Amino acid sequence: MKVSLIVPSFQQGRYISDAIESVLSQENVEIELFVCDNVSTDETTKVLERFEGQIEVFIEKDLGQAHAINKGLALSTGDIVGFLNSDDILFSGAIEKVLGRFQQDRSLDLLYGRARYIDDSGKVMGDYKTKNWDWETFQGECFICQPAAFWSRRIMEKIGFLDQRLNCSIDYDYWLRIAQAGGVIKHIDEYLACSRDYPQTKTRSLRGRVFIENFKISLKRLGFVHSFWISQYMDYFKYERRPIWAKWIPPAGTARDRITGLLQNISYVWARDVYFKEPPHGPMV
């Protein structure tokens, strides 16, 4: 079995060498690696030149992260696919463990493992809070760490590529689509990747937008917004943004539960009357 990995790239010359080397250093596996760079103006191009002949590089304008990944996916030929952000890294032996599990269980469509957070210097900050697969919980919490997740070509051919309309929650939407298409999803209790956490990442710098995208995705894919997403959004305003009205947001407890439950019920009506629920299936375009 062969693995195809896509690295979307833009202005990450400081980190991209670590990302690529973490892939090329994987042993006892067959990997094809595509780097799709959006014409970076930092040192990225010089770094990529060092890997000439080892990886496929495409330097051209794109329409964003999802579009860059989709270009690589369209060219890929692996039985198992995934993408690695240019500031993230794989653990040594990660791909061998992934392939071993896919070979052991041919029904698998999405496999994800444990992951750690690292800072901009590569120092471990802690563990990503991954959990064993549970559909009900996942509707209100994304506990799959994207660089530690890999899916089958079979499921990709069934549901299509990533949604290019999204910017922040591309992976969460894709995992939901895999689940709704009947994909077999499992967790492996092995460290597979490190996700870099620093102020300039989308997760940090666009926190509010992440929640808004998660709400829109939930309305389109599920037909409602889970109360846990709503509660986290309330925490975002109460403890992070702290506008003057945030003092009226109740802390976790009975009052909070009642409010989030009410808003979840309203979301069912909103989804029914405003949003058209989209199927997880899509053509390979």
The tens place of each residue's pLDDT in the chain, 285 residues long, gives: 899 999 999 998 999 999 999 999 999 999 999 999 999 999 999 999 999 889 999 999 999 999 999 999 999 999 999 999 999 999 999 999 999 999 999 999 999 999 999 988 889 999 999 999 999 999 999 999 999 999 999 999 999 999 999 988 999 999 999 999 999 999 999 999 999 886 666 666 678 899 999 999 999 999 999 999 999 999 999 999 899 999 999 999 999 999 999 999 999 998 887 766 777 765 444
Number of domains, the chain = 2
Structure tokens at 45: 């191009």
**Nearest alpha carbon to residue 110 among 176, 198, 61:** 176
Domain assignment present for residue 117? The answer is yes
**Other CB atoms within 10 A of residue 242 CB:** 11
Burial 258-270 (b: 16+ CB within 10 A, else e): ebbeebbeebeeb
Contact 123, 194 (CB under 8 A): no
pTM for the complete prediction? 0.92
Q: Which of 204, 225, 241 is the last residue of a domain?
A: 204
**CATH code assigned at 94:** 3.90.550.10
**Nearest alpha carbon to residue 23 among 51, 62, 47:** 51
Angle at 169 between CA 166 and CA 175, to 5 degrees: 110
| Segments forming the whole domain that contains residue 145 | 2-204
Q: Are residues 110 and 244 in the same domain?
A: no
Contact 185, 110 (CB under 8 A): yes
At 118, is the secondary structure helix, strand, or coil?
strand
pLDDT at 273: 76
CA separation for the pair 233, 255 (Å, rounded)? 15
